[in-house]
């Protein structure tokens, strides 16, 4: 169905976040999914009107990404990774067990509307293989039995155990609201919305999220690093420690905070590789051995000369 007046307002807010209206198409699709439980034709029509995309273009985007479903989903979306790492650790067995138990196949929904099941490509958490997600929250290293126990609780509407990361799944529609960038569906002006506004203000953005600005004259907020002098001093101390002790930068990362990834990960005296240089050429260049460039003064140049004549 078309957006309720309240969601229409939120949809316009989303459009106002981008210099180009059409950039809002992905969050708007999540918002449609939040309201309708799938990408409905009415939703496609409304996004088309909001973004100046044609309906066919909105449909093309929706069918390209697997997160957008063209059929109504159940209360929870259960995804089982059946890509390489998960398959070698039993992902197919987990999927088959759930498929048999629920009596549904890929992207099908149980009759009681509790679960939509899908098998998925790599979900980016291979170290937790085999991986199952519920409403995109990760449950790592599940056996078929543990996966079965999890969906039993979901079907019964019982409390489910917390995932390895993230929150206890509240339902796919709820999560879709958050994926649209609008924070908690039960508290749309809550913590996340306030944090977004504060972040924009901090980074010099003059645009509170509730004010739509787009098109000519709109200047997107400039993102500036927000590290304090104390952060920088701490990182410098940690860099020095890496240089002096040869310690693993990763070990120090926790201690040094968000800038720790700036640690040198190689010998600071090592020769820098030039763009386009093949492996081995750098060392040749440094050792004074003629590399590809030196050889070009000979046969290569003659050949090029012939070709130009």
Q: Which residues bind ligand FES (CB under 6 A)?
A: 81, 83-86, 122-126, 129, 131
The position carrying tokens 């787009």 is 214
> What is the Cα–Cα distance from 248 to 253, expressed in whole angstroms?
9
> What is the Cα–Cα distance from 309 to 302, expressed in whole angstroms?
11
Nearer to ligand FES among residue 125 and residue 213 (C-beta): 125
Nearer to ligand FES among residue 83 and residue 110 (C-beta): 83
Report helix, strand or coil for 137.
Answer: strand
CB 79, CB 133: distance < 8 Å: yes
Nearer to ligand FES among residue 32 and residue 147 (C-beta): 147
**Residues contacting residue 235 through CB under 8 Å, at least 6 positions apart:** 227, 256, 257, 259, 260, 262, 263
CB burial of residue 51 (10 Å; 0-12, 13-18, 19+): buried
288 CA to centre of own chain: 45
CB of 79 to ligand FES, least distance (A): 10
CB 43, CB 36: distance < 8 Å: yes
CB of 142 to ligand FES, least distance (A): 12
Nearer to ligand FES among residue 126 and residue 221 (C-beta): 126
CB of 125 to ligand FES, least distance (A): 5
> What is the Cα–Cα distance from 152 to 155, expressed in whole angstroms?
5
Nearer to ligand FES among residue 40 and residue 85 (C-beta): 85
CB of 62 to ligand FES, least distance (A): 24
- CA-angle at 73, arms to 69 and 75, nearest 5°: 140
CB of 136 to ligand FES, least distance (A): 13
Nearer to ligand FES among residue 99 and residue 282 (C-beta): 99
Nearer to ligand FES among residue 29 and residue 98 (C-beta): 98
Calculate the CA dihedral of residues 177, 7, 35, 192 and round it to 10 degrees: 10
> What is the Cα–Cα distance from 2 to 188, expressed in whole angstroms?
19
Nearer to ligand FES among residue 124 and residue 258 (C-beta): 124
> What is the Cα–Cα distance from 3 to 11, expressed in whole angstroms?
8
């Amino acid at each position: 169905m078309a957006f309720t007046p309240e969601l229409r307002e939120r949809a316009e807010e989303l459009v106002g976040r981008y210099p180009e209206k059409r950039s809002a198409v992905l969050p708007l699709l999540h918002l449609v999914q939040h309201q309708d439980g799938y990408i409905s034709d009415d939703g496609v029509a409304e996004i088309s009107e909001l973004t100046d995309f044609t309906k066919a273009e909105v449909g093309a985007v929706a069918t390209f990404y697997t997160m957008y479903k063209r059929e109504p989903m159940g209360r929870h979306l259960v995804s089982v990774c059946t890509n390489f790492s998960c398959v070698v650790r039993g992902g197919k067995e987990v999927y088959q067990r759930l498929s048999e138990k629920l009596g549904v196949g890929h992207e099908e929904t149980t009759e009681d509307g509790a679960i939509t099941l899908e098998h998925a490509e790599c979900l980016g958490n291979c170290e937790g293989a085999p991986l199952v997600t519920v409403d995109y929250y990760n449950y790592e290293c599940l056996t078929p039995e543990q996966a079965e126990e999890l969906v039993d609780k979901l079907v019964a509407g019982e409390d489910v155990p917390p995932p390895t990361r993230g929150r206890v799944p509240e339902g796919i529609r709820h999560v879709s609201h958050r994926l649209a960038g609008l924070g908690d569906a039960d508290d749309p002006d809550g913590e996340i919305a306030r944090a977004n506004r504060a972040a924009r203000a901090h980074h010099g953005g003059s645009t509170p999220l509730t004010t739509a600005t787009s098109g000519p004259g709109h200047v997107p907020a400039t993102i500036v690093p927000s590290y304090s002098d104390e952060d920088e001093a701490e990182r410098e101390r940690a860099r020095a420690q890496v240089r002096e002790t040869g310690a693993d930068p990763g070990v120090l990362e926790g201690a040094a905070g968000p800038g720790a990834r700036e640690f040198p990960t190689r010998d600071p005296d090592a020769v820098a590789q030039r763009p386009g240089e093949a492996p081995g050429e750098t060392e040749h260049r440094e050792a004074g051995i003629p590399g590809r460039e030196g050889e070009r003064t000979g046969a290569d140049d003659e050949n090029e000369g012939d070709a130009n004549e």
